[in-house]
Amino acid sequence: MDEIKRILIATDGSEYTKGAVTTGLKLAKVLGADVTALYVVDQTSFVNFPMDSTVVSFYSLLENEGKRAVEDVKKEGEALGVNVQTVVAEGSPTRKIVEMAANFDLIVIGTLGRSALSKLFMGSVAERVTRYAPCPVLVVRAKKG
């Protein structure tokens, strides 16, 4: 197995990804790896809407949420002594994570652990990233509330 020195942690800032963030950072500490925390502003949500002030406002809100999410990862990493870079990107979450994965040894991502039926209708970023990523993916299931 190749050495793991660069870990990409995908976060959406929700409670559901906190376990993945903590697991990824602890793993990075043990391995001496650097981490990049990634939040993707999902532009696919805005495709069919005209860019009026309401949409721009909502987009700005998501971008600020993303900045907070990756900064939270950075703070948690600093507390553990792990080097964390932050990236807020735009696009389709699955596509952006898979594109960025080319520069990493491992992706860590959270999941709700939804049923097969709900995945059929709603899709799963974690499932699609696992399918298409060019590197190993560690999927961390969120703890039930």
Q: What is the pLDDT of residue 113?
A: 55
Q: What is the pLDDT of residue 118?
A: 43
Poorest-confidence range of 13-22, 70-79, 114-123?
A: 114-123
Residue 69 belongs to some domain of the structure: yes
Q: What is the CATH number of the domain that holds 46?
A: 3.40.50.12370
Residue 1 belongs to some domain of the structure: no
What confidence tier does 105 reach under pLDDT thresholds 50, 70, 90?
very high
- Domain with 95, as residue range(s), is 6-141
Residue 131 belongs to some domain of the structure: yes
**pLDDT (tens digit, 9 = 90+) per residue, 83-100?**
999 999 999 999 999 999
Residue 54 belongs to some domain of the structure: yes
Residue 66 belongs to some domain of the structure: yes
Q: What is the pLDDT of residue 62?
A: 82
What's the token pair of residue 32?
């001496």
Pairwise pLDDT comparison (120 vs 53), residue with the higher score: 53
Residue 14 belongs to some domain of the structure: yes
The percentage of the chain sitting over the pLDDT mark of 90, rounded to a whole number, equals 60
Q: Give the count of domains, the chain.
A: 1
Residue 92 belongs to some domain of the structure: yes
Pairwise pLDDT comparison (57 vs 133), residue with the higher score: 133
Q: What is the pLDDT of residue 14?
A: 86
